[in-house]
Structure formats: structure tokens, C-alpha cells
Amino acid sequence: MTNLNPIDHQDLARAVDLLENPSFAAKVTNLIGGPVEKAITMLPEGVSAKMVNTTQKALSKAMELAVSTLDERYRGESADGAHRLLTTVSGAVGGAFGLLALTVELPISTTIMLRSIADIARSEGAPLSDGATKLACLEVFALGGAKHDDDGVDTGYFAVRAALAGAMTEAAKYLAEQGLTSSGAPVLVRFLAKIASRYSIQVSEKAAAQAVPLLGAAGGATINLLFMDHFQSMARGHFIVRRLERTYGKELIRDTYQGLASRN
């Protein structure tokens, strides 16, 4: 077994810290001073039920607008700050109009976040022209949020990846053969549905927080800043792991990751 060199081991430890830290809900709870899960139950009837459909549409639009135009020619650090600014502005606009603006604002903020995720992937050496990398960018939206009915199952980083593996393999094969001609292809729809079922949890949390009285535009901007920061952290950890997997192999990285996670 090959051991990781000290720098790579430190990078993996950073990834563990990013991927296994408190969820978006915990971060929002710290901001607004109340459990987000309780706030979700106070959303208007039917809103939570529509979240999966809304998020799947947002992911589909984001994939068409962002993933198909990713550019890997640039070399350098990812522009995290610029993407935070853009999503903060969209959050301010959405917050000013409340829940009614969610269906308009969510595709915009999701597209900006996907561009940021792709930028982070590029900075970690991921080949953006590869269909698997494009799907891995979308995979980030499934990370960092446990499903409410999971009871602790499939919530760890590698457990989520395993749960998505079959759909991701099918989608990657389709992209390799057909390219991104349409996000409506059945294999891509199945993949997006799996991502959306998890991403919708954070979207529900975001909607609940923005629905808190008096938050308004300033609150919407702050929530979106947290939203972007959360997924940038997930992306950084995810693509550090994938970079190290290309060097050392998946088995060693998974075992080392789990060993580090068990100490936290």
C-alpha cells in the first residue's frame, strides 16, 4: 500500500473537514437563531412538496447554461469571491420578493454556483472536457445535506457517492457517446432526479430561512452567501478527493478518508 505524501495527506484532512462539517441547515440556524427544520414546517402548504420538481428544473437549466460551456483553458486559483458576490446579488433580489421569486431566482443562483463548482474543479486539476467531471460538478449539489427520512443512512460523503454511482455511470456513458445534446435524455433525467432529491433539502432550508419575517432583501443576500459558501466548501472537498483518487487510487483514498473522519 502506498502512503500519501505529507502534503496530500494534509489536503485529504482538509477535505474531510470540509465535507463532514455541519450542514447548511446548521449554518443558517446559527445565523437566524432558530432550527431550520422547524421553520420548514411553517412554509405555506405545498411548498416543500414542490421543491424536488423546482430543483430538478433548476439543475437542468444550469446544466444546459453552465456545464456545456465550461472552459478549462484558464489556469490559476478559482474565483470564489466573484461567484459569492454574484449569488449574493441574486439572493438580495429573491429575498425582496420572498417565496414567489424562488422559481425565478433558484435557476440563476444554481447556475452561478455550478460555474463556481466547475471553477473549483478546474483549479484542482479536473479535466472539464470530460463528461464525468461535468457530472461530478452536479454531484456536489447532493453533498452536505442528509435526507430527512434517511435516519442517518447514506449521509456520509462516500455513502452519497455510492448511492449515485449507478446513475452517474449511465449518465457518463451517455455523455461520452452522445454529448450534451439534451438534458431531457432519460439517463440524464434519472441522474438529475437523484441529485434533486438531495439538493431540494437545502433549497427547502434556504426557502424557510428567507421566509422568516423581517429578513427581506438583506436576509436573502446573506442566506445566498451562506448557500454559495456551503457548496463551494463541498466542491473543494469533493475535487480534492477526486484529485487524490487519480493519483493514489480510489480504495486507498477512501480508507484513509474514513480513518481521518473517524477521529473527528
CA atoms within 13 A on the CB side of 113: 30
Q: With bands split at pLDDT 50, 70 and 90, how would you rate the model's confidence at 258?
A: very high
Q: Is 156 helix (H, G, I), strand (E, B) or coil?
A: coil
> According to the model, what pLDDT value does residue 153 have?
42
Mean pLDDT of 55-74: 68
Sign of CA dihedral 8, 257, 141, 48: negative
- How far is residue 181 from each of residues 63, 68, 141, 143, 196, measured CA to CA in Å? 11, 9, 22, 26, 21
pTM of the model: 0.83
Q: Is 42 helix (H, G, I), strand (E, B) or coil?
A: coil
pLDDT at 124 over 80: yes
pLDDT greater at residue 129 or residue 96: 129
pLDDT digits (tens, 9 = 90+) for 237-254: 999 999 999 999 999 999
Neighbours of 209 (CB within 10 A): 27
Mean pLDDT of 75-80: 63
Q: Quick one: what percent of the chain has pLDDT higher than 70?
A: 66
> According to the model, what pLDDT value does residue 21 have?
81
Q: With bands split at pLDDT 50, 70 and 90, how would you rate the model's confidence at 100?
A: low
> According to the model, what pLDDT value does residue 150 have?
44
Q: Which three cell numbers stand for residue 23?
A: 450542514
pLDDT digits (tens, 9 = 90+) for 158-180: 999 999 999 999 998 988 887 76
Mean pLDDT, the chain, whole residue set: 78
- The Cα 221–Cα 207 span in angstroms is 12
pLDDT at 43 over 90: no
pLDDT digits (tens, 9 = 90+) for 10-23: 999 999 999 988 77
Q: Which three cell numbers stand for residue 260?
A: 481521518
- The Cα 154–Cα 105 span in angstroms is 29
> According to the model, what pLDDT value does residue 197 have?
87
> According to the model, what pLDDT value does residue 15 have?
96
pLDDT greater at residue 102 or residue 228: 228
Q: Is 264 helix (H, G, I), strand (E, B) or coil?
A: coil
- For the residues of 19-35, what is the DSSP string, one character each? HSS--HHHHHHHHHSS-
User: CB of 67 within 8 A of CB of 180?
Assistant: yes
> According to the model, what pLDDT value does residue 67 have?
53
